[in-house]
Structure 1
């Protein structure tokens, strides 16, 4: 049937025909327009972008399968420098792509021994890890005469040359260039939900995408139009809570309470991970300040708030959450 058809069949068997159709549309389009015309003589840079949290990993796996159907055999997928994210992506690939040889960061032997199946290596964008794979690619001779298909998840995070104005090359960007150059040819697919920085690079940066593709989110996607439908007060959804007039301590209490409610919802409906993002800025002092505020808020809910009041606050917060997925 082919790698892409087998991948899509998993979604169709689960009754997710719309998702399967979306992935197939994106994968076939990129395959027809770009991968099928690849000369195996050049290094080409492309960009795939979609809405934030709109299923980029599923789309990416579909494109990898399409590329495998079109005779690519070696794939490198890079996540941000997060052990948890790399592990999640690895486990998902092992489940969703059983016909591939899926290699983690230290699976050199598995990479070397793979023969009659596509190889997908999943690593973090970490200087040490990337250098290790530069050396493995060079020493194994596996890529001699072969092309490499590189997928850079969150490509606007760390991958660009952050020292370009100093006429130097940043460490991560240097390793990525070396990885690309270990193969005689490559397709480097940048993936992100925020492509502005990538598109605004100069033409001579050698990191600006040569082609750009956008995939639309499915009908169930909750994006900016859902969370911020209007500017008038009466248009603000009940579950949006602005903290402009609150002290940092009050805001932290609201953040912790919301995260507890959302985490309970996710866990009760079969999810395993619930993340809460706080973006105070780039300085360490700002991070430490936010950390202290959240720790104090957790302690306040745990030790200083009466159980009955916590239950009432939790119930009110849960009632404001939309959509409702469970009555538990």
Structure 2
């Protein structure tokens, strides 16, 4: 589907004007380009029944919502009539999504499931046929069931439809797929039913953590056939900025894990003082926000009293008893700060505030006088609010207009929720089984925050900082692979430190290539009819430049070439395309060009096992020699097999490969059904 000539419609023009003012002409053009790329793969509304399923892979808080709204605007200008935007089962997130969509589109009016029921059905039936309708729906059984029923009442099954499944990896995948003879999980079943309701539609999954989606079987009803990898615009601060070199930058400060233990101790819910690093973090926030208020007030002649709002986030536990403990602590801190600033003598809070000023002022582009800053803080510290985001709290962040907003993270904190000008994060929510997608989505410090980066600080344990560094490496590698249009069913990550996602949504048939381990095919091609003599001759020629039975230094490109030359009859654990893709990634990611080649051309008279192919190729001594070779680079081992007919071969010689994966790379996880 091509929309290139139809980008100046009323909805696109309206949103493009707003985005240009908000993120600049370049940023707005990037949003439109990503939306166009996705719509190019959608069915043409005028050509009859068809469907498409894709994935928008963004970054945490990088503007995916702008792309979603542009997709709807572009589609509305080009013949689509019904737009369904699925959100996490979270009232605050649904309201945020609804408000942003309402403000972004000119001719299509959005509804929720509850607001639809208040309107005249006859009017809605007419509207959906003319201007079109957008529906924002939470992913729970009740709302999805109501959505499907209402679509039938609207007679909208035949209309060109866009379904956007935001945060598609967290709610909607089949959590029963590892269980035999079990029906799909309920939300998954309703999403599949919703998708099958329409004759012509684009179903678009959206997430910044696609690990679970990428591992789904190709035949899965919610496995994407195309992927659009979006990039952040100017001014974005991501996990990479903060954690790729966290031991050397000024943004990350470490928490002693014992302090987290004290704060999460349910037997001690009333605390007299403040743990040292938490107090430091609170003071960094107050000073950082005061610096911003002081500087920005100078350049604004008149503005709303509540225009400047800054946030502090503490996220250490899912338990509501701990949230109440922190709530009491933070409310007390307000009065303690005011009293400390009024006290003419030295005290601990004043000392911590001054220490924070000494560091943060180093990064300011203009001179700041400490007494003026403290005067600003004292004037505004009363404008202070604490909000808990957990399942028992109905509050939303938009409820507060306080300049100093303190947020206590619970289970409602996470995907899609935007925190206003988050300057300081105190994060210590530890898990014994960390997951890439879960930890990534807790990284609310990401976003378009470059203008506040000078006063941004993240307080974490060193272990969590290491997790986030691994996640950063993983995300960069995966995005690079997907942008090159290579197999989107391959994941690269450090399997020893952190898992990709929760086990329930990973299919049964998943394979792992581990660093430093040796892998070989079950059976290479050995039959004459497949031209194996020519293949063997070509490999002989290629190997003639190297000494046999020694570890020869070769370009990894040569290793790849040799692997690709050898045809495989029965793969077993040898997935050639995955291995080649991994080696190519390894060269680019680590900037390492060379590996090792070991081959034996004398010929092995091994006998083919008619059931198991080739038995162990390497002797115990040779296996240990290859596995323990004292260089981290990949090693390709080649043995020529003498193809004697009495050994159950076909009378021609052939080559058998084995590869020791590099010891310094990442482990590799992939879906066996997709390669």
Residues 68, 118 of structure 1: 8 Å contact kept? yes
Moved more, 79-88 or 32-41: 32-41
Provide the residue aligned with 1:162 in structure 2.
175
Q: How far 1:227 moved relative to its partner?
A: 0.9
Q: How far 1:54 moved relative to its partner?
A: 0.4
Q: What aligned pairs does 1:227-266 form with structure 2 within 5 A after superposition? A: 227-231=242-246, 233=247, 235-237=248-250, 239-248=251-260, 249=263, 250=275, 253=278, 257=282, 261=286
Alpha carbons of structure 1 residues 141 and 324: separation in structure 2 relative to 1, 3 Å: closer
Aligned counterparts of 1:277 and 1:116: Cα–Cα separation in 2? 48
Alpha carbons of structure 1 residues 192 and 28: separation in structure 2 relative to 1, 3 Å: same
Q: What aligned pairs does 1:72-151 form with structure 2 within 5 A after superposition? A: 72-108=80-116, 109=119, 111-114=124-127, 115-143=129-157, 145-151=158-164
Moved more, 303-312 or 39-48: 303-312
Aligned counterparts of 1:277 and 1:205: Cα–Cα separation in 2? 39
Helix, strand or coil: the match of 2:110? strand
What are the superposed Cα offsets for residues 250-274 of structure 1, whole Å, 9 maximum, x if unpaired? 3894598389658887998837795
Give 5+ residue unaligned stretches, structure 2: 1-7, 264-274, 294-303, 342-347, 361-422, 424-449, 456-675
Q: What aligned pairs does 1:38-77 form with structure 2 within 5 A after superposition? A: 40-77=48-85
Q: How many residues align?
A: 318
What are the superposed Cα offsets for residues 285-317 of structure 1, whole Å, 9 maximum, x if unpaired? x52464255235325524667533546645655
Provide the residue aligned with 2:13 in structure 1.
5
Aligned counterparts of 2:49 and 2:31: Cα–Cα separation in 1? 28
Alpha carbons of structure 1 residues 5 and 277: separation in structure 2 relative to 1, 3 Å: farther
What are the superposed Cα offsets for residues 79-103 of structure 1, whole Å, 9 maximum, x if unpaired? 1112111111111211111221211
TM-score after normalising by structure 1: 0.82
Between Structure 1 and Structure 2, the one with more helix by share is 1
Provide the residue aligned with 1:301 in structure 2.
333
Q: How far 1:28 moved relative to its partner?
A: 1.8
Alpha carbons of structure 1 residues 171 and 274: separation in structure 2 relative to 1, 3 Å: farther
Give 5+ residue unaligned stretches, structure 1: 281-285
Aligned counterparts of 2:77 and 2:355: Cα–Cα separation in 1? 51
Helix, strand or coil: the match of 1:205? coil
Aligned counterparts of 1:91 and 1:32: Cα–Cα separation in 2? 27
Alpha carbons of structure 1 residues 273 and 325: separation in structure 2 relative to 1, 3 Å: closer
Provide the residue aligned with 2:210 in structure 1.
195
Q: 1:18 aligns with which of 22, 26, 32?
A: 26
What are the superposed Cα offsets for residues 180-238 of structure 1, whole Å, 9 maximum, x if unpaired? 2222232110000111110111123211111101111001110122212415x3x132x
Aligned counterparts of 1:81 and 1:193: Cα–Cα separation in 2? 18
Aligned counterparts of 1:94 and 1:45: Cα–Cα separation in 2? 25
Relative contact order, higher structure (CA 8 A, sep 6+): 1
Provide the residue aligned with 1:29 in structure 2.
37
Structure with max Cα Rg: 2
Alpha carbons of structure 1 residues 138 and 315: separation in structure 2 relative to 1, 3 Å: farther
